């Protein structure tokens, strides 16, 4: 009998109780729902039951965490203790009210506004997101690029970020960043100057503008864009929250562009998250004598980022310009030319899966394509040969690529 309001209130409370990216809490919620999860934690906090009893209850229940197999008993007992210590007088309803007074809301999975790309984070996906601002988050993130980089940006890097964000905004691509000084602020400001929505993911609560010196910027972001956080209102930005905030930036964007980053810049952490999600990472070049570019150069040198020099380069990395093959509306297949003959129709299922696993912009070796497609290497090679013959893919020196237009 959990109503939508009960669920939302429970998630609001759980966002205060858990830290961002708490996979154990997420799995408990997936298993028994947010309302039941919160009830167990508050019961332990109030002394109505011990954490051992709570775990035993879950085990005997048979439909809970033990049934799902996701939560190891020993681990869970300790986590419930930890969570219960953070249950304070203020409940989720209080946070909902507080954010509502600021014109904001909590969005949760199932809401129309929920940005589905965040589900790619799997068990690390947020339980919910606190959002302020005029933009509908799921809509503006449909086509988004992250522009991130050093706080201690050079004038050159600031100019690069500004030009890139302006050009992305001009093409209707939402600029996502972290609201920090330097590259982040330059990117947000340029998008706003272009009168486009931009999204800032915060490491602290959405009621706190951090850094405070960017308060004018955050006000402008609210007018057309969104300020988003998974931490509860009032919470302070802390190092681990920045690092976990970065996964939301990476997951929100189709490409994460590192404009300037020193050797150990936090922007490299965003790149790492993007790579783990198989999202595209790109980096801007700069002077080899600039410390602000060493991290960006390293990403390119180690083949973790594509070199980009302008918006066009970034857009070329957005795979999704090519509609997916399995677009059931049938309207989006770029290959179905005016002749009405679609070479894709001739493919068997394995070849279609393999074609879908390829990228038009990033060459993959046969092994990677096989892994992506879930095929054996032998099957992938046979499928790739068929795609080559059909003019739908080709092998270049750097690997296999999908062709945007079939070539026969």
Q: Are 343 and 406 in contact (CB under 8 A)?
A: yes
When the beta carbons of 16 and 297 are compared against a copy of itself, the nearer one is: 297
Cβ-Cβ contacts under 8 Å for 182 (sequence gap 6 or more): 149, 150, 151, 152, 153, 157, 158, 260
When the beta carbons of 10 and 311 are compared against a copy of itself, the nearer one is: 311
When the beta carbons of 59 and 371 are compared against a copy of itself, the nearer one is: 371
Shortest Cβ 365–a copy of itself spacing (Å): 3
Q: Are 117 and 199 in contact (CB under 8 A)?
A: no
When the beta carbons of 80 and 401 are compared against a copy of itself, the nearer one is: 401
Q: Are 369 and 380 in contact (CB under 8 A)?
A: yes
SS3 311: helix
Q: How far apart are CA 316 and CA 313, in angstroms?
A: 5
Q: How far apart are CA 203 and CA 240, in angstroms?
A: 9
When the beta carbons of 203 and 384 are compared against a copy of itself, the nearer one is: 384
Shortest Cβ 122–a copy of itself spacing (Å): 19
**Binding-site ranges for a copy of itself (CB under 8 A):** 156, 159-160, 284-289, 293-294, 297, 300-301, 303, 306-310, 313, 363-368, 377-378, 381, 395, 397-400
Q: What H or E segment, with its residue span, contains residue 400?
A: strand 399-402
Shortest Cβ 363–a copy of itself spacing (Å): 7
Q: Which of 298, 274, 275 is nearest to 286 (CA)?
A: 298
Shortest Cβ 245–a copy of itself spacing (Å): 25
Q: What is the 8-class DSSP label of residue 48?
A: S
Pairing of strands 280-283, 255-258: parallel
Shortest Cβ 166–a copy of itself spacing (Å): 14
Shortest Cβ 288–a copy of itself spacing (Å): 4
Q: What is the 8-class DSSP label of residue 210?
A: S
Cβ-Cβ contacts under 8 Å for 68 (sequence gap 6 or more): 27, 30, 31
Furthest C-alpha separation in the chain: 73
Termini Cα distance of the chain: 60
Show the tokens assigned to 203: 């490491």
Alpha helices in 199-336 (DSSP H): 215-224, 239-252, 267-276, 294-301, 311-317
Q: How far apart are CA 182 and CA 150, in angstroms?
A: 6
When the beta carbons of 85 and 377 are compared against a copy of itself, the nearer one is: 377
Q: How far apart are CA 317 and CA 136, in angstroms?
A: 25
Shortest Cβ 377–a copy of itself spacing (Å): 6
When the beta carbons of 314 and 390 are compared against a copy of itself, the nearer one is: 314
Q: Are 347 and 355 in contact (CB under 8 A)?
A: yes
Q: Are 147 and 257 in contact (CB under 8 A)?
A: yes
Shortest Cβ 147–a copy of itself spacing (Å): 14
When the beta carbons of 243 and 371 are compared against a copy of itself, the nearer one is: 371
When the beta carbons of 120 and 365 are compared against a copy of itself, the nearer one is: 365
Shortest Cβ 399–a copy of itself spacing (Å): 4
Shortest Cβ 162–a copy of itself spacing (Å): 12
SS3 307: strand
When the beta carbons of 170 and 385 are compared against a copy of itself, the nearer one is: 385
């Amino acid at each position: 009998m959990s109503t939508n309001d009960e669920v939302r209130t429970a998630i609001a409370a759980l966002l205060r109780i858990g830290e961002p990216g708490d996979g154990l809490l997420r799995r408990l919620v997936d298993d028994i729902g947010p309302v039941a999860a919160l009830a167990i934690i508050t019961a332990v906090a109030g002394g109505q039951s011990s954490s051992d009893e709570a775990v035993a209850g879950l085990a005997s229940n048979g439909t809970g965490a033990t049934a799902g197999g996701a939560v190891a008993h020993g681990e869970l007992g300790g986590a419930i203790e930890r969570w219960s210590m953070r249950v304070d007088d203020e409940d989720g309803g209080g946070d909902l009210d507080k954010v509502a007074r600021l014109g904001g809301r909590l969005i949760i999975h199932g809401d129309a506004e929920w940005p589905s790309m965040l589900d790619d984070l799997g068990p690390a996906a947020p339980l919910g997101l606190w959002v302020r601002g005029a933009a509908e988050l799921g809509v503006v993130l449909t086509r988004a690029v992250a522009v991130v980089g050093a706080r201690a940006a050079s004038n050159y890097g600031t100019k690069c970020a500004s030009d890139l964000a302006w050009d992305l905004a001009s093409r209707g691509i939402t600029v996502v960043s972290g609201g920090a000084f330097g590259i982040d602020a330059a990117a947000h400001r340029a998008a706003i100057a272009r009168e486009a929505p931009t999204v800032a993911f915060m490491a602290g609560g959405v009621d706190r503008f951090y850094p405070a010196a960017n308060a004018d910027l955050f006000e402008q972001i609210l007018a057309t864009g969104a300020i988003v956080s998974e931490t509860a209102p009032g919470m302070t930005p802390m190092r681990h929250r920045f690092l976990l905030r970065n996964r939301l930036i990476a997951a929100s964007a189709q490409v994460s562009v590192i404009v300037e980053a020193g050797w150990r810049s936090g922007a490299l952490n965003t790149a790492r998250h993007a790579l783990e999600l198989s999202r595209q990472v790109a980096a801007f070049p700069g002077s080899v004598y600039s410390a602000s570019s060493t991290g960006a150069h390293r990403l390119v040198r180690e083949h973790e980022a594509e070199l980009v020099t302008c918006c066009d380069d970034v857009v070329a990395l957005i795979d999704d310009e090519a509609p997916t093959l399995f677009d059931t509306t049938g309207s989006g297949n770029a290959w179905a030319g005016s002749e009405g003959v679609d070479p894709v129709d001739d493919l068997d299922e394995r070849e279609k899966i393999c074609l879908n696993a390829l990228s038009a912009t990033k060459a993959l070796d046969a092994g990677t394509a096989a892994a992506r497609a879930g095929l054996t290497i032998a099957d992938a090679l046979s499928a790739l040969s068929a795609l080559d013959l059909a003019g739908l893919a080709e092998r270049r020196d750097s690997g296999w690529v999908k062709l945007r237009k079939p070539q026969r």
